[in-house]
Structure 1
Amino acid sequence: MSVETAPRRRRLEPDARRGQILACAVRLFGERPYADVSTTDVAREAGVARGLVNHYFGAKKDLYLEVVRVMVTIPEVALERLPKGDLRTRVDASVTWFLDVVSRHSTSWLAAVTARGMGGDADVERVLAEAEEVAADRMLVAVGLAGEAEHREELRGMVRAYGGLATSTAREWLQRGALTRAQVHLLLTTTLLTIVEQVIPQVIVGDDSTRPAQPAEPPA
């Protein structure tokens, strides 16, 4: 979820050049609807030939899908940079990282999570769904629950639901201006701590009230 723009018109290594092109695409797709951005526009912005854009990313849609992916996927490096403190310290750092990233790339992030101009596209939905799964796994690592195997799917479901809350709350701040950053931070940290400290322990000990209802057996 973090892309930096490299200086233009320099001889760069392939990875750096690819990153430069992607950074320009992130910005352009954030500023304009999908239909209004071409690979020629991206190439011009990056200072490269259009063929190089196609070489690294394929067609325009492939490039767009990569933009969405990079904007909505939590990178592994975010986990590596979390402090080694207690749960509250790690939750606070996780929320701070998320808010820093979405505010730094607010226009591009909002365009990605709403898939502006591509609503209902199966490939976009697949990328968003994959990002949710990655986020679920990495959030469990962040809160120290990656090793909980017996209730893993239930915990991943809770974390996915929390991810939906995080996205909606960030939009209330960035898009609608209904909340301040401090209010969003408070809501997200308090909610995540409540889930980890109060809800998940009940699931792990097998409290029947937290278990999904089982379908009734058909009559004999």
Structure 2
Amino acid sequence: MSVETAPRRRRLEPDARRGQILACAVRLFGERPYADVSTTDVAREAGVARGLVNHYFGAKKDLYLEVVRVMVTIPEVAVERLPKGDLRTRVEASVTWFLDVVSRHSTSWLAAVTARGMGGDADVERVLAEAEEVAADRMLVAVGLADEAEDREELRGMVRAYCGLATSTAREWLQRGALNRAQVHLLLTTTLLTIVEQVIPQVIDGSARPAHPAQPPA
């Protein structure tokens, strides 16, 4: 969920050039609806030939899908760089990282999570769903539950639900202005700690599982 813009009109290595083009696409798709951005626009912004954009990303929709993917997917390095402290320290750092990223790329992130101009598109939905699964796995690593195999699907479901809350809450801050950053940070930190410290233990020990309904007498 982080893309930086490289200097324009320089001879760059392929990975750096690809990153530069992607950074320009992230910015343009954040500023305008999908229909109003062309690969020519992206090429012009990046200072490259349009054919180079096609070479690295394919058609316009392929480029857009990559923009959405990079905006909504938690990179592995973000989890690797979390501090080695206690649960609260790691949760605080995770929430801070998330808020830093979405605020730094606010227009592009909002455009990605709302898929502006592409609502209901099956390919966009697939990318968003894949990002949810990645987020679930990486959040379990972040809170020290990656090795909890027996109840893994239930835990991943709760983490996916939390990630949905995080997205909605960030939109209340960035899009609607109903909350400020400190309030969002408090809400997301407190909620995640509650899930990990109070809800998940009940799931693991079985106390939160629904009882089987009694069978009627024969």
Name the TM-score class by shorter chain: over 0.9
Q: CA deviation at 1:219?
A: 11
Q: 1:181 to 1:15 in 2, by over 3 A?
A: same
Q: Which runs of 4+ in 1 moved over 3 A?
A: 212-220
Q: 1:30 to 1:208 in 2, by over 3 A?
A: same
Given the superposition, is the C-alpha separation of residues 215 and 175 from structure 1 closer, same or farther in structure 2, using an over 3 Å criterion?
farther
CA positional deviation for 1:55? 0.1
Q: Find the residue that maps to 1:41 and give its secondary structure.
A: helix
Residue 217 of structure 1 deviates from its aligned partner by: 8.2
What CA distance in whole angstroms lies between the structure 2 residues aligned with 1:178 and 1:5? 30
CA-CA distance at 1:135 after TM superposition: 0.2
Q: TM-score when scaled to structure 2? A: 0.96
Identity of aligned residues (%): 95
The 1:50/1:210 distance shift into structure 2, 3 A limit, reads same
Q: 1:212 is matched with which residue?
A: 210
- 1:42/1:190 CA distance change after superposition, 3 Å: same
Residue-by-residue CA offset, 1:60-82 (whole Å, 9 max, x unaligned): 00000000000000000101110
Report the Cα distance in structure 2 between the residues aligned to 1:37 and 1:47, rounded to whole angstroms. 16
Deviation at 1:163, TM superposition (A): 0.2
Residue-by-residue CA offset, 1:58-105 (whole Å, 9 max, x unaligned): 000000000000000000010111000000000000000000000000
- Mark the CA change 1:146 to 1:176 in structure 2 (over 3 Å): closer, same or farther: same
Task: Give deviations 1:119-170, integer Å, cap 9, x for gaps.
Answer: 0000000000000000000000000000000000000000000000000000
| Alignment root-mean-square deviation, CA | 1.8
Quote the offset at 1:209 in angstroms: 5.2
The separation in 1 between residues aligned to 2:77 and 2:89, in whole angstroms, is 18
Q: Distance in 2 between matches of 1:181 and 1:31?
A: 22
* Alpha-carbon separation, structure 2, partners of 1:121 and 1:203: 35
Q: What is the aligned residue count?
A: 218
Q: Quote how far apart the aligned CAs of 1:214 are.
A: 6.1
Query: In the alignment, which residue of structure 2 is the partner of 1:70?
Result: 70
Distance 1:119 1:217 in 2: 46
In structure 2, relative to structure 1, the CA distance for the partners of 1:60 and 1:82 (3 Å cut) is: same
**Shift in Å, 1:44:** 0.2
Return the TM-score normalized by structure 1.
0.95
Give the whole-Å Cα distance in 2 for the aligned partners of 1:142 and 1:23.
27
- Give per-residue Cα distances to partners, 1:167-203, cap 9 Å, x unaligned: 0000000000000000000000000000000000011
* Distance change (3 Å), C-alpha of 1:125 and 1:211: same
Q: Give the whole-Å Cα distance in 1 for the aligned partners of 2:164 and 2:123.
A: 19
Once the two structures are TM-superposed, the CA of residue 210 in structure 1 deviates from its matched residue by 1.8
Shift of 1:211: 1.8
Matched ranges for 1:130-209 at <5 A: 130-204=130-204
